[in-house]
Chains A and B, each alone.
Chain A
Amino acid sequence: MAILDINGVSLSFGGLKVVDGLDLHVNEGEIVSVIGPNGAGKTTLFNLITGIYRPDEGDITLDDQSIVGLQPHVISQRGVSRTFQTLRLFLNMSVKENVMAAAYGHTRAGVFRSMLRTPGMRREEREIERLAQERLAFFGKRLMGYRWDQPAYSLSYANRRRLEIARATATNPRILLLDEPAAGMNPSETHEITELIGELRTEGGYTILVIEHDMHVVEGISDRVVALDHGVKIAEGSFDAVATNAKVVEAYLGLQTAATK
């Protein structure tokens, strides 16, 4: 059953069609990869799903309910969470607070209860903290212990990427959108991320839509691969089918090279 359904979605910036009549569905528990050359509209697709852009045409449904026109924080509270290609952490906040902040959508204590520190508020606060520890523990020792109280800017690049994923999972999402989780990572870190995405599904129970350029990662994780070029879906299917698809090879390497190959 499709948890996320994108039907004929189009978006233009001025005269440029960034996404053109795109159809895409993601089933419960599936890991779907979106590939495509730079400027293919992959990140725009994420921005459309999370409500940062509003599509000119078409509909996006989450559990058969349209989420078009909803504010991003409402869409997040409905169960869509994401990471960013260009890391967007709350750099001057501690590692733990970064994750705790993302629990805002599913917690309830208001400002007056917070000011008085009522027992209910304190209980909720403890739950948020436990949630943060649990989400951070997902990355083994990487984000544990003394790092919790350090500001996020003190983390290494790879740990920042991990923290973004931890933060995204703290909104208790059903579907997780990962925007190039392995970008800028070295081979062993990339390998680790590949395993981690698998664990996010098996242990975390998330449905995952992932943008990735590293084909080893894509091959390692995907149930299904979708290839975009110029905002149009040019191929869909298993990794092997998409990777050998003539249109995909052409999109990546150009017509000339494809022909000589």
Chain B
Amino acid sequence: MSDSTPHGSHVPAEGPAVGQDEWVARHAEQRFMPGGPLGALEDRIRRVPWWAWLILFLAAASTLPVFEHSGYVRYVAFSTVLYMLLALGLNVVVGWGGLLDLGYVAFYGIGAYAYAMLDSDKFGIHLPTIVSVPLVVAIGAIGGFLLGLPSRRLTGDYLAIVTLFFLQLFQTITTNGDAAFGHNLTGGPNGILNVDPFHLGKHDLVVQHEGIFAVSYFYVALAVFAVVFVALRFVNQSRTGRAWRSQREDPLAAEAMGMPVNWLKLLSFSFGAAVAALTGTLFAAQSASVFPLTFYFVLLIIVYTMVILGGSGSQAGVVAGAVIVSPLLELLRDPGKSRVIFFLALVGGLLLMSRRSRALGIVAIVTLAFGFAVHEILGAIDKSWIAGEHQGGFAGVTDHWVVAPAHMARWIAPTSYIGLIAAVLLVTMVRGRLRLALLVPTVYLTAFVWENVMLAKPEPARYIVLGVILIALMILRPNGLLGERRVEIV
């Protein structure tokens, strides 16, 4: 090859220290890593091995009952651990297997029902826990395998429909199982009652101790979680785990590289189902009863929310998703606490965005002034417009800011709600100064709807809040909180 420089070879004495590819890679790394002490800290955190995080998390979680004596809080902690387990199981199917399984909670139900049938007065069987739980896990695994058999050639939407049908089938069978060929198998809508707690020999693991939730179930669930977490992690780091993820990325290439794709899909279904069934035994033993409607769409959506929010494919991510969503849903039940969450989120959101543009900071201040002004003006016109009262966090501040009529006329709720949707749509459609100007009344209207419409009905409101959080997160971090950056394969 001839030299491209005009005056012969005049290569600088010190050539580039690194090759071009390497330079690009290093540059990319620098961009991701902030410099200074913060960057050093982040680098340190990244180097902490996964098991250290797990031990830290378990240690922190197990001290919770020491500080918190309320049976309610302990129960919420217990159910959070169940959600963590469910999210871990779903992560195998969705995150690693890449299979959109909408029948997942049916296996949770199968586990709970199977345990209830094997350990209750229903059929008079009382197997020791050490026998019944492994049996139920096996039933779940086989169930997952059987659901996988007809679905193994399906992908994407088609698989979703078939598995969703399976969930409906589970519902139909358990709801009508009180008259299956003349036998009462499932107790129908009334479910199965008086399910045994976990027991070994003559010793019961009691659910309630002096009328409040006994913390032993929390520890049992935490131990099960630790075992499942480690076991799944080990599988993921084996040839099976690599093959799962390979067929998720490209089934044809995986097949051509010697991986039996159909078998791997069945295996992934089976693993997810087994974890769900195991979680079901914990649920049934603790709640002492099972009903069909526990295992339905709402639960399915909640578990999916946790997996997506945390970062599908990352174990730590889906656990974080469960730890965030499960207590959040509980907090949102209480209007006072949900008001705190709402206004913190509103202010936090505006602050975060104002970091990007100063104009938004101004919008926040104007909105604040706008609110006080509207409140004063309406109050001057008619006292009853601001006479409405709300209790709970921040009420002192919001009472002077948000208009709250003493008597909600029938038309106010739907009008303001529809008006809010229209305002949000309008804001997304216009640009520039007009958008900023429109933001002021829109934010205020949001607060109005929240105070006067949503708080009156906390049950749907908390799911709406969950939906809004999901939308916001999907815009900010499409791969979830702890999810790895992913590229789409076309």
Contacts and interface: CB of A to CB of B under 8 A. Distances in A.
Interface residues of A, number: 48
Contacts of A90: 245-246, 249-250, 253-254
A103 B253 contact: no
B448 to A, nearest CB: 44
Contact of A104 (B231, B235, B257, B484): B257
Contacts of A81: 256-258
B242 A93 contact: yes
Given A111-B235, A128-B239, A104 B253 contact: no
Contact of B258 (A76, A109, A110): A76
Given A71-B260, A73-B259, A105-B257, A52 B235 contact: no
A102 interface: yes
Nearest to B231: A115
Name the residue among A89, A102, A124, A150 with the largest chain B CB count within 10 angstroms: A102
A117 B234 contact: yes
B489 to A, nearest CB: 6
A182 interface: no
A219 interface: no
Question: Which among A50, A90, A147 has the highest number of chain B CB atoms within 10 Å?
Answer: A90
Nearest to A147: B25
Contact of A77 (B250, B258, B485): B258
A41 interface: no
A73 B255 CA distance: 5
A114 interface: yes
Contact of B489 (A52, A91, A107): A91
A92 B487 contact: yes
B289 interface: no
B257 A93 contact: no
A116 B249 CA distance: 26
Interface residues of B, number: 35
B235 A114 contact: yes
Nearest to B233: A115
B14 interface: no
A171 B254 CA distance: 11
B261 interface: yes
Contact of B242 (A101, A115, A117, A159): A101
Interface of A: 50, 52, 71-73, 76-77, 81-82, 84, 88-93, 97, 100-107, 109-111, 114-117, 121, 124-125, 128, 146-147, 150-151, 153-154, 156, 159, 167-168, 170-171
The 8 closest A-B pairs by CB, nearest first: A105-B258, A114-B238, A76-B258, A88-B253, A90-B249, A101-B242, A102-B257, A72-B255
Interface of B: 21-22, 25, 28, 231, 234-235, 237-243, 245-246, 249-250, 252-261, 267, 271, 484-487, 489
30 contacts: A52-B256, A71-B255, A72-B255, A73-B255, A76-B256, A82-B256, A84-B256, A90-B245, A90-B246, A90-B250, A92-B245, A92-B249, A93-B245, A97-B242, A97-B245, A101-B245, A101-B254, A101-B259, A104-B239, A104-B243, A104-B257, A109-B238, A110-B240, A111-B271, A114-B239, A114-B240, A128-B239, A151-B485, A156-B21, A159-B21
